[in-house]
Structure 1
Amino acid sequence: MNGADSGVVAGKWYIGGMWVRGLCAECNSFAGAQYDTAYGDFATRLWQWLQVGTRVALPSTQPVSLAPGRVSRAILSGMLGISPHVRVLHPSLADQMYKGGPVALPGGLSLRVAIYPGKAAMLAGPMLTGLLDGSSGAINTLATVTFRPLSWALVTTDTDDMLAARGWIDATDWLRYEDDREAHDLRWLAPHGLPVVHTILHSPSNDGMQLYSKDIAPLMRGRIP
């Protein structure tokens, strides 16, 4: 099936990062002021540690500090921008983010995270990948953000168990931390360390079939030089 038959139109590659017009100016400014610096600091420290870890035998638990509440809410605010459909399905989630402070995910959802050291990047809204391994399993996500050094997924209960079996850390409780919790040791939040994944969820492969609607699932792929 070619692109014309499938209804999928290939996009263009642009230099200048990955972004979407998904949040209003007020929410975007609030997220930037409250959360983005904390996320950037954590990502920088983690990446620096990983670069050393490729040359020196270091323990699997990463001795990196972070503000778990602000880091997790930074990624969740981005997911609400990438996937406006989440705000339709779970309006209480958007209301909590607008008020600021700790967030409780609606029942049936969880936030998962893993280390991703690759150069490819992807932002995606609701997608489902049916596994072709005879298990009848599927990876069902409402939003995913993969940008070195981390990969995040807002997942439904059925997929939560599958990612847990693959070692992805449950970061749902990170959302409950107050903004003023500046430093927390990652080794306490993830005693066995964050797992390293080398493939992006929903990447085209012979092991699965990707299903999504271009009307509700924005999909952006990029590459870090």
Structure 2
Amino acid sequence: MFATTPHLRVMFPGLAADLRERRDHITMPDGATLRLALYPFRGTRLASMFNAVRVLKSRRHYDIFSEVYFRPLAWTLTSSGRGYVESMGESVFDNPRWATVDDWIQYGDDVTMVDLRDLCRQGIPRVHHPLLGDDQDDWIQFFSDQVTAIFEGQC
């Protein structure tokens, strides 16, 4: 995810250094959370630093630092904080509830296999990207051409 934008290294310098130096103990920085869901669709998307608000039908928000939608999984690094996002409606990550996998970055090179059922006891939802679906015209997107990269394709 740090490859999608250099801005993440500015926002989370400790995490960037921990990952680069392959430290034994890595923790998620305050204000960020890593989310996981099943994504069985052909459309792929890698993007960084944007948010979107669904303004038609039901009000929802989608606020990410970085995302990787590449089947069979979807990963997002998103805000863990409250505040302004609550006023934007329900989060895409809360319905269905994406698995929070912040602890996964603590696994070292010695871990070669883990059963997902043991790591995600509440289950892993199946999702589609909210901006790649049939209702993509219901959303307004906000991003900066200086910090946002968006790559889309098929696989």
Q: TM-score, normalised by structure 2?
A: 0.83
Displacement, 1:120? 0.5
Give CA deviations for 1:146-194 in whole Å, capped at 9, x if unaligned: 01111110000247x8313322100111112232122222111112432
Corresponding position of 2:129: 200
Give CA deviations for 1:47-100 in whole Å, capped at 9, x if unaligned: xxxxxxxxxxxxxxxxxxxxxxxxxxxxxxxx0011211111111111111110
Q: Distance in 1 between matches of 2:125 and 2:9?
A: 29
Q: Distance in 1 between matches of 2:95 and 2:57?
A: 17
In structure 2, relative to structure 1, the CA distance for the partners of 1:164 and 1:179 (3 Å cut) is farther
Q: Does residue 220 of the first structure (1) align with residue 151 of the second (2)?
A: yes
Q: Does residue 147 of the first structure (1) align with residue 70 of the second (2)?
A: yes
Structure 1 residue runs of 4+, over 6 Å off? none
In structure 2, relative to structure 1, the CA distance for the partners of 1:120 and 1:186 (3 Å cut) is same
Displacement, 1:201? 4.3
CA contact (8 A) 1:164 1:170 kept: no
CA contact (8 A) 2:130 2:136 kept: no
Q: Distance in 2 between matches of 1:141 and 1:92?
A: 19
Question: What RMSD, in angstroms, separates the aligned Cα atoms of the two structures?
Answer: 2.1
Q: How does 1:63-102 map to 2 (within 5 A)?
A: 79-100=1-22, 101-102=24-25
Corresponding position of 1:209: 140
In terms of fraction of residues, the more strand-rich structure is 2
Query: In percent, how many aligned pairs have the same letter?
Result: 29
Q: Does residue 188 of the first structure (1) align with residue 118 of the second (2)?
A: yes
Size of the aligned set, in residue pairs, is: 144
* Structure whose CA Rg is larger: 1
Q: How does 1:85-164 map to 2 (within 5 A)?
A: 85-100=7-22, 101-133=24-56, 137-157=60-80, 158=82, 162=91, 163-164=93-94
Q: TM-score, normalised by structure 1?
A: 0.59
Q: Distance in 1 between matches of 2:108 and 2:71?
A: 26
CA contact (8 A) 2:99 2:122 kept: no
**What is the one-letter code of the residue matched to 2:7?**
H
CA contact (8 A) 1:121 1:222 kept: yes
In structure 2, relative to structure 1, the CA distance for the partners of 1:139 and 1:189 (3 Å cut) is same
**What is the one-letter code of the residue matched to 1:95?**
A
Q: Specify every segment of 5 or more residues in structure 1 that has no aligned partner in the other structure, as ranges.
A: 1-78
Q: Distance in 2 between matches of 1:135 and 1:144?
A: 23
CA contact (8 A) 1:83 1:216 kept: yes
Displacement, 1:130? 1.2
Displacement, 1:132? 1.0
